[in-house]
Homo-oligomer: A and B are copies of this chain.
Amino acid sequence: MTDTLELVSENKSFGGWLRRYRHRSEVLDCDMVFGIYLPPQAETQSVPLLWWLSGLTCTDENFMQKAGAHRVAAELGMAIICPDTSPRGTDLPGEHDSYDFGSGAGFYVDATEAPWNQHYHMYSYVVDELPDLVHNAFPLSGQEAISGHSMGGHGALVCALHNPERYQSVSAFAPICHPLNCSWGEKAFGGYLGDDRDTWKAWDACELIRANGAPHSLLVDQGGADNFLEAGQLQPEALEAACGEVGGDLTLRHQPGYDHSYFFIASFIEDHLRFHFRHL
């Protein structure tokens, strides 16, 4: 482990440990940092794992610091891993100019368009490379669930839909449900995947559900006062329609008054952790 993972920091939290590690990513061709929360139970046994994918502008740190998830993870005995949201330390033209494209905005796809295809393979990083690394390094049981927020909610849905046997359950907070039909998604997919919108469908939760069926267990919370909901970026109604068409088991909860912030996530993260724990 010490050969490939460099410990960046560690903090004791609710009897367990938050540890952040730097490592070389081959698939992203850059150094990356991720955070792992190991509950107290991991001292003596292997534990199930929740992947958390964060939203635009976030790093591995936002969820760990703001979601208040360690308390319940420590109670249930679940590990949580937060990857970063894009390759880092690269300097592609325009990479750092927008909050919604490039650094901090990898959108959990595998880019095909130059120059992004040099580094922007966040899907393969989250689904293949990082799991291989952490399963060799930490006492994980192999039981996995996935969740995320906004761009990371889109990521969680797409990862789960491409790997239906891999994740026992999937949930999301205010996910971008139908990226090929909103401005965030059009900008990101156009940049990373090119102009042929047919290729975008492999990265759109609603299209994947229509093509392959819905996840077996899906919980989504959406704040009623979320300005990105009003702006049409999130479109939970499109997810609901797609799940309805294929008979998918979607629990979509509208939470009146809640916005897009981590205060919304913190308010309901306990429900999500218990939801995932029930499905492990």
A18 nearest CB neighbor, chain B only: B263
Q: Are B267 and A12 in contact (CB under 8 A)?
A: yes
* Copies per assembly: 2
Look across to chain B and name the residue whose beta carbon is closest to the beta carbon of A37.
B263
A225 touches B12 (CB 8 A): yes
Residues of chain A at interface, number, CB under 8 A: 22
A71→B70 contact, CB < 8 A: no
CB-based contact A65/B262 at 8 Å: yes
For A65, the chain B residues whose CB sits under 8 A away are: 65-66, 262
A258 at the interface (CB under 8 A from B): yes
A266 on the interface (CB 8 Å rule)? yes
A12 and B257 contacting across the interface, CB-CB below 8 Å: yes
Cβ proximity bits A40-83 to B, threshold 8 Å, 1 near / 0 not: 00000000000000000000000001101011000000000000
Closest chain B residue, CB of each to CB of A64: B263
A264 to B11, CA, bound (A): 8
Interface residues in A3-32 (C-beta closer than 8 Å to B): 11-15, 18
CB pair A266–B66 under 8 Å, yes or no, is no
A259 interface hit (Cβ, 8 Å): yes
User: Given that A65-B66, A66-B65, A266-B68 are known contacts, is A259 also in contact with B12, CB under 8 Å in the complex?
Assistant: yes
Q: Which residue of B is nearest A12, CB measured?
A: B257
A:89-127 near B, CB below 8 Å: none
Q: Which B residues touch A11, using CB under 8 A?
A: 259, 261, 263-264
Q: Are A264 and B68 in contact (CB under 8 A)?
A: no
Cα A125 to Cα B18 with chains together (Å) = 36
In the complex, the chain B residue whose C-beta lies closest to that of A74 is B267
Contacts of A12 in B (CB 8 A): 223, 225, 257-259, 263-264, 267
Kindly identify, within residues 223 to 265 of chain A, every residue whose CB is under 8 Å from any CB belonging to chain B. 223, 225, 257-259, 261-264
Q: Tell me the smallest distance from the CB of A46 to a CB of chain B, in Å.
A: 22
In the bound complex, how far is the Cα of B266 from the Cα of A12, in angstroms?
Answer: 11
| Bound Cα distance A268, B171 (Å) | 28
A257: chain B residues at CB < 8 Å are 12
Q: Mark A160-182, 1 if CB is under 8 A from B, else 0.
A: 00000000000000000000000
The 7 A-B pairs with the shortest beta carbon distances in the complex, nearest first, are: A68-B68, A13-B263, A11-B263, A12-B257, A12-B258, A14-B267, A11-B261
